[in-house]
Structure 1
Amino acid sequence: MGYMHDFDENVQATDVGAAIRKGREIILQAFNWESHKHDWWGNLERKIYDISKSGFTSVWLPPPSQSLSPEGYLPQNLYALDSAYGSEHLLKALLQKMRQHRVRPMADIVVNHRVGTTTGHGGMYNRFDGIALPWDEHAITSCTGGLGNQSTGENFNGVPNVDHTQPFVRKDITEWLRWLRNKVGFQDFRFDFARGYAAKYVKDYIEGAKPVFSVGEYWDSCSYQNGRLAYNQDSHRQRIINWIDATGQLASAFDFTTKGILQEAVKGEYWRLRDAQGKPPGVMGWWPSRAVTFLDNHDTGSTQSHWPFPGNHIMEGYAYILTHPGIPTVFYDHFYDWGTSIHDQIMKLINIRKKHNIHSRSCIRIIEAQTNLYAAIIGDKVIMKIGDGSWCPAGHEWKLATCGHRYAVWIKE
């Protein structure tokens, strides 16, 4: 464990706002729903050089703890790091390799619910006997069969939900997060099912464990009218913004609004990409420094396909999020499983983003948002377009930097 003392950041005294203020994050979600079947920690270790070279700053890994489900989302013994993704030894080797290549590991934090080891009150598996954090029924909300208080959020049905109002629960979770951060070597956190408990507890956990960067999964339904996505999604993005605010603005959040709108827009409704005020219509348009944009993840895409981005428009999607304000996320499947051409096209877009200093707060002016065409200028050095409408910027100073199926990006030399 000796190597754990040479963090790039001072582990004990991280400024939890620094990464958000800099706004230069580019995230890779480095797993899908099937990854646990494939010696995952070892597979990723072999890719860290490529991940680092591609320009990613943070790599979101699946939940590290022992879990009743192999994917990791039904955690039981939080301190046991042997999981379906590989052994504790292989995980620590991966984290060490990431640190050597200056890529931050992001832990998937599942603390909304926890599956007990023995039955207690009401015949539910709501006691945690014989493992670290041996809670009893008082750690579980009364709405999911425990003896604790009512939930402060929405229930994750079918399993015991953790009662975050209990001081002993918060103390134990904070100590576990500090252990992940300071002893195991995770630097960033992704909070799973953030609708399940009050955001003020996320604030407590961030302040207690001091991750470099945090993002929450606050996922609820967009607005629909007569079965079609409504043009105005202000109420949807406002709910995400309210959650970020309630974390003391310490967390960012996945921009589900942008995903929902973008994946309809690319089907020939590009007018959706400009809101009534002329701004981008997702969280990105209102609070870009906290908007973590993405096309798909292990839930929406992969083999679950709960809400997938249309596959033949993937590169248009990346041309949008990788040139725009916000904090873009690339999905493992697209980067590594969809062929070398997609991998290299995404890499080119990341390179343009970094080289021309596009960051989370870059200014944006939308030039066109029509049925078959969207075009925007970002900062003062990058112009992009998506859609099959024919368009290019006026002026000889603009040079084509990259292009592909229904997208093009120009830079000012």
Structure 2
Amino acid sequence: MDAVTIRAGKSQAMRDMAALRMRQLALFAGILMSGGLQTIPREPLLVLVLAICFAFTNPLRMFKAEFGAIWILLLATVAVALLGGQSFQVAPMLIRYSNFLAGLALLAMYIDRRPGAIAEDLYIMLKFMAFQAVLTPLFALIVPQLFTTFMYKNTIYTTFLYIFTYHEFIVGATLFKRPDGFFFEPGVFQIYLNIFLFICLFLRRFSYFDVGLATLAVMATQSTTGAAILVMLYCVAYWRFLKTAGRMQKLAVLIVGPILLLPIATYATYNLAEKFYGEFSGSAEAREYDLRTGLNVVMENPLTGIGFDYERYFDVAQEVGYRDLDLSDENMTERSNSNGIVTLLYSIGIPLGLVFLWSALRQRMFRPRLLMAGLVLLSMTSEPLIFTPFILMIVFSGLLLKTRKAPQARAATARPRSALAVRS
């Protein structure tokens, strides 16, 4: 091999690495827009996502036939939001449609990548977040003097380098602090940590270290929803292994598996008991209020919803809100809804909301398809993130249309088939 070929190979490798890092940066910005992060304005993140995605993909790609069902859904969404909101809500509509556009851009960037590309792009950043989750409570316990505090929206956050951050719902209630990650909220953090566990269990060569790290990271958040998803992922992984293992392996797994899973089941049970009957039972009451009040708001406008304006939600919730709970008047009248599924239904109505949910079940970004859909939708029951770019990318992938090419066009096209168009 001559020197020119070697230099060309190195140059191509450098370009490929630069492209990978840029894709990961766009994905990371989309994730930050899809969480509770408040310190970085959303506008620069949106510009970053769009600029990188459109550097990889012609923006006109989003207007091709395979995206047709998505655009029909978005047009129907703006129509019912206007009807349900009873006015043109400029700011809420711009916020939602900027998220829709970012989700579409991310989807367009990955639609022609090979299968598993998005999992590989996510792996390195989510592994960093897993270390972040595990180290935050350890650092807070061992070297608390490294941490400083700051106030944001009447909540005191404690941080070291703005990487290892936590806040306490009840001061001194737990020895190990709940990590917030980059999201200001452990419940959001667990979503991405469970996605990391999903990738480690189902999409990469099995690594005891990675799976153990991901498991500890999810447990560190002390999220009840996160614990439920953790158990779900392990149960499916256990069942899939039993189906493919040899006879002796099955016997070993049947004996050893339950013993290994016992700590996870114990953690989930303890967490559930704490949230419903322990010091953190107020969290369960607040979630119940959000669910019942949100469903009452849904039934006020079941066909069109009430639009995207939160002020209108507060007005309707004040009239029909669930009152049979020990919550303060301030919590009941000024509390935004934490249930993403209910938020979806009361914003755009039941018919279109069901289309979003059906699309999530058909997602083509990750396999096993239904398991990832279950992870996302279960997470949405405790976090109102369904209208954010990363989640929308997954949801929109379920609406992609399979388009046929003429035989001549297929023969002339050198690109591999879309990773998202592969049948499951």
Q: TM-score, with normalisation over the residues of structure 2?
A: 0.25
Q: Which has the higher strand share?
A: 1
Q: Which has the larger radius of gyration?
A: 2
Structure with the greater relative contact order (CA < 8 A, sep ≥ 6): 1 or 2? Answer: 2
Question: What TM-score comes out, normalization by structure 1 length?
Answer: 0.26
